[in-house]
Amino acid sequence: MQVLVENITKKYQVGEEEITVLDGVNLRIAAGDFLVITGPSGAGKTTFLNLLGTLDEPSAGRILYDGVDAGALHPNQIADFRRDHIGFVFQFYNLIPQLSAQENVMLPLLPNVKQLKFNLEERAAALLAQVGLDGKGEKYPYQLSGGEQQRVAIARALVNTPSLVLADEPTGNLDMEIGEQILRILQEVNRKQGVTVVMVTHNETFASFGTRVVQIFDHKLQKVG
């Protein structure tokens, strides 16, 4: 998916005060890019990723997804759009503790299970195998290591065959070696399936897994390197 960010600004109202987090950000993310976003803590990386994920709306400007302006859609249409096209991976995995790995992967599509043209259980099992967790579908999150939990979270992010995957510090809670394994999985998803990936990371070594790196600094987006 191609994403065009046009002159977006994001402001938050905190009590009496208005704070500007992003101020006039422009960016073109080509289909098949693996874009890495870095920047200091509090710079607005998560804010920007939430905007890209249609979880939040810009205060001004717009974001086009293959030409579609998400801001022009009805809230219900935005939810459908997000479910159909975007996958999310978070720093703390955000798995449901009461559900098995397999059930966690199935979860995003469960509300629509009757309309699906494929077997959801089979897809979940195939995705778990793809991320190296063949046979671990019955395990619960507490029975899995951090790296394994993040693999489940990646499988969950892929269950809707998204064309855009957004990852907010997916290795932030893992050591270097396990973090690299996670990044190789994301890299493979990007290269083999052509999925556009946007990842936030603090780690310079991990930034090299991307095809492009930008930094958020001083409320703006700046090229790195």
Ligand X SMILES: Nc1ncnc2c1ncn2[C@@H]1O[C@H](COP(=O)(O)OP(=O)(O)OP(=O)(O)O)[C@@H](O)[C@H]1O
CA distances from 183 to 79, 125, 135, 216 (A): 27, 21, 22, 21
Given the complex with Mg ion, which of 45 and 151 has the nearer CB atom? 45
CB of residue 166 to ligand X, shortest distance in Å = 12
CB of residue 167 to ligand X, shortest distance in Å = 13
Asked if 46 touches ligand X (CB under 6 A), the answer is: yes
Q: Between residue 75 and residue 94, which ones bind ligand X under the rule CB under 6 A?
A: none
Q: Are the C-beta atoms of residues 69 and 60 closer than 8 Å to each other?
A: no
Asked if 12 touches ligand X (CB under 6 A), the answer is: yes
Angle at 102 between CA 138 and CA 117, to 5 degrees: 140
Closest CA to 22 of 5, 4, 2: 5
Asked if 47 touches ligand X (CB under 6 A), the answer is: yes
Asked if 198 touches ligand X (CB under 6 A), the answer is: no
165: its two tokens: 């995957």
Given the complex with ligand X, which of 48 and 209 has the nearer CB atom? 48
Burial of residue 151 (CB within 10 Å: 0-12, 13-18, 19+) is buried
Select from 37-45, 59-67, 79-87, 139-147 the region that touches ligand X (CB under 6 A): 37-45
Q: Between residue 33 and residue 52, which ones bind Mg ion under the rule CB under 5 A?
A: 45-46
Asked if 149 touches Mg ion (CB under 5 A), the answer is: no
CB of residue 168 to Mg ion, shortest distance in Å = 6
How many residues bind ligand X (CB under 6 A)? The answer is 11
Find which of Mg ion, ligand X, none residue 14 binds, CB within 5 to 8 Å per kind.
ligand X
Residue 185 CA to residue 130 CA, distance in Å, equals 9
157: its two tokens: 């992010």
Give the rounded distance of the alpha carbon of 137 from its chain centre.
22
Find which of Mg ion, ligand X, none residue 196 binds, CB within 5 to 8 Å per kind.
none
Q: Which residues of 104-117 are buried (b: 16+ CB within 10 A; e: fewer)?
A: bbbbbbeeeeeeee
Would you tell me which residues interact with ligand X (CB under 6 A)? 12, 14, 21, 39, 41-47
Would you tell me which residues interact with Mg ion (CB under 5 A)? 45-46
